[in-house]
């Protein structure tokens, strides 16, 4: 299946614990379109395989593999009809102070870590790092699933251990000043558009006009249009269409509803328009998209 548009929207992470950490444990892999978020993401594979694209690279992950995804890095998950059991941790930098700034403002240059399979490999720094990360990730999983008294205290401790390990042992390189400035500006712009983005996410099938979106954000139509394009890389109409097309794709993979019903639930009033937009965003028709999964 062709990958979605290389442009990506911002994913607003909603933390599922009282800690600045989002924990996702899932055996399904229906795919997720190109997106980015300010949190650092760690993916650990429990079973089966999956592919994740980061920028122009595609990583094939197998059981016990670990993938580290930098803050604000565009990435996408490719669907696997057999599913893929995995743990995903998304960490905010706020609780780590200056150390968080140091990690988040540098790029991890060797993101894919595999377990050692030979004695020779077991003596490498990559195997040592993988083993320590794996232990911490599985500790977090056990605490999260068990939720006995004090589990969030333990998760908090392991989260700090993870960050210290990334700080000390993971090879990184410094972003250019220009790249850091661009990331900072983009995050500030997206914060100002949060109300509109949340409205689109929470009401995927509802109509919203450019004027309504501008009113929600508190800007004139002119300033909203310019800010939205600068922050997301999309015009407002293109963003709405791409979001709805991907939402429809999730409906097609996650249920047995008809293509027409998926189109209308996603907010398209014309099946012809839906087919055209869907193909532009996902690289194939809705019928072919569903048949390949």
Q: What are phi and psi of 251, to 5 degrees?
A: -65, -40
Q: Examine the domain organization and report whether 85 and 158 are in the same domain.
A: yes
Listed residues 148, 174, 200: the one ending a domain = 174
Q: What is the pLDDT of residue 73?
A: 83
pLDDT tens digits, 3-52: 333 344 455 544 444 457 889 888 877 777 667 788 999 999 999 999 99
Q: Give the whole-number percent of the chain exceeding pLDDT 70.
A: 92
Residue 32 is assigned to a structural domain of this protein: yes
Per the model's pLDDT, the better-predicted residue between 284 and 231 turns out to be: 284
The domain that holds 256 is classified in CATH as: 1.10.10.60
Cβ count within 10 A of residue 129: 19
Q: What is the pLDDT of residue 44?
A: 97
Q: Examine the domain organization and report whether 94 and 169 are in the same domain.
A: yes
Residue 3 is assigned to a structural domain of this protein: no
Residue 4 is assigned to a structural domain of this protein: no
Q: What are phi and psi of 18, to 5 degrees?
A: -75, -5
pLDDT tens digits, 57-81: 899 999 999 999 998 887 888 878 7
Residue 230 is assigned to a structural domain of this protein: yes
- Please report the beta strands in 81-210, taking only residues with DSSP state E, as ranges in sequence order: 85-91, 106-108, 112-113, 172-174
pLDDT value at 272 more than 90: yes
Q: What is the pLDDT of residue 239?
A: 85
Q: Examine the domain organization and report whether 169 and 227 are in the same domain.
A: no
Per the model's pLDDT, the better-predicted residue between 166 and 256 turns out to be: 166
Residue 220 is assigned to a structural domain of this protein: yes
Residue 49: C-alpha distances to residues 90, 117, 182, 267 (Å): 20, 17, 34, 33
- Give mean pLDDT, residues 262-279: 92
Nearest alpha carbon to residue 4 among 286, 262, 228, 278:
278
Q: Examine the domain organization and report whether 248 and 267 are in the same domain.
A: yes
Write the DSSP symbol of residue 175. Answer: P
Residue 253 is assigned to a structural domain of this protein: yes
Q: What is the pLDDT of residue 6?
A: 33
Q: Examine the domain organization and report whether 79 and 151 are in the same domain.
A: yes
pLDDT value at 191 more than 80: no
Q: Examine the domain organization and report whether 159 and 272 are in the same domain.
A: no
Cα-based angle 265, 267, 269 (whole degrees, multiple of 5): 105
Q: Examine the domain organization and report whether 23 and 161 are in the same domain.
A: yes
pLDDT tens digits, 106-165: 899 999 999 988 878 888 889 999 999 999 999 999 999 999 999 999 999 999 999 999
The tally of domains found in the chain comes to 2
Q: Examine the domain organization and report whether 43 and 156 are in the same domain.
A: yes
Listed residues 155, 174, 193: the one ending a domain = 174
Q: What is the pLDDT of residue 17?
A: 47
pLDDT tens digits, 202-219: 888 888 999 999 999 889
Cβ count within 10 A of residue 233: 16
Q: Is the dihedral of CA 128, 134, 140, 143 positive or negative?
A: negative
Cβ count within 10 A of residue 225: 16
Q: Examine the domain organization and report whether 213 and 188 are in the same domain.
A: yes
Q: What is the pLDDT of residue 5?
A: 34
Q: What are phi and psi of 287, to 5 degrees?
A: -65, -45
- Give mean pLDDT, residues 84-90: 94
Q: What is the pLDDT of residue 289?
A: 81
Q: In whole numbers, what is the pLDDT of the chain averaged over residues?
A: 85
Residue 1 is assigned to a structural domain of this protein: no
Q: Examine the domain organization and report whether 159 and 238 are in the same domain.
A: no
How far is the C-alpha of 287 from the C-alpha of 290, rounded, in Å? Answer: 5
202 burial (CB, 10 Å; 0-12 / 13-18 / 19+) is: exposed
**pTM, whole model, 2 decimals?**
0.70
Listed residues 109, 143, 174: the one ending a domain = 174
166 burial (CB, 10 Å; 0-12 / 13-18 / 19+) is: buried
Please, which residues have CB within 8 angstroms of residue 19's CB and are 6 or more apart in sequence? 95, 152, 155, 156, 159
Q: Which domain holds residue 273?
A: 178-291
Q: Examine the domain organization and report whether 25 and 154 are in the same domain.
A: yes
Q: Examine the domain organization and report whether 55 and 148 are in the same domain.
A: yes
Q: What is the pLDDT of residue 129?
A: 94
């Amino acid at each position: 299946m062709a990958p979605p548009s290389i442009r990506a929207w911002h994913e607003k992470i909603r933390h599922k614990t009282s800690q600045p950490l989002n924990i996702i444990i899932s055996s399904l892999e229906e795919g997720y379109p190109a997106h980015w978020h300010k949190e650092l993401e760690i993916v650990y594979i429990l079973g089966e395989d999956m592919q994740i694209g980061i920028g122009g690279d595609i990583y094939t992950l197998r059981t016990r593999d670990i993938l580290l995804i930098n803050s604000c890095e565009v990435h996408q998950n490719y669907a696997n009809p057999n599913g893929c059991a995995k743990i995903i941790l998304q960490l905010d930098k706020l609780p780590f102070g200056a150390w968080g700034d140091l990690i988040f403002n540098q790029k991890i240059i060797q993101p894919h870590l595999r377990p050692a399979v030979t004695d020779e490999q077991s003596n490498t720094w990559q195997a040592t790092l993988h083993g320590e990360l794996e232990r911490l990730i599985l500790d977090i999983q056990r605490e999260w699933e068990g939720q006995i008294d004090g589990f969030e205290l333990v998760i908090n401790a392991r989260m700090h251990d993870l960050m210290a390990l990334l700080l000390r042992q993971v090879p990184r390189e410094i972003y250019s000043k220009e790249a850091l400035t661009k990331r900072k500006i983009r995050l500030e712009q997206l914060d100002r558009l949060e109300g509109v983005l949340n409205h689109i996410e929470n009401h995927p099938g509802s109509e919203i006009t450019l004027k309504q979106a501008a009113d929600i954000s508190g800007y004139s139509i002119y300033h909203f249009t310019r800010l939205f394009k600068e922050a997301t890389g999309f015009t407002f109409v293109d963003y709405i269409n791409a979001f709805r097309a991907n939402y429809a794709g999730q409906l097609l993979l996650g249920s047995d509803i008809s293509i027409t019903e998926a189109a209308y639930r996603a907010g398209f009033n014309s099946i012809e328009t839906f087919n055209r937009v869907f193909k532009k965003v996902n690289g194939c028709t809705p019928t072919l998209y569903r048949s390949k999964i």
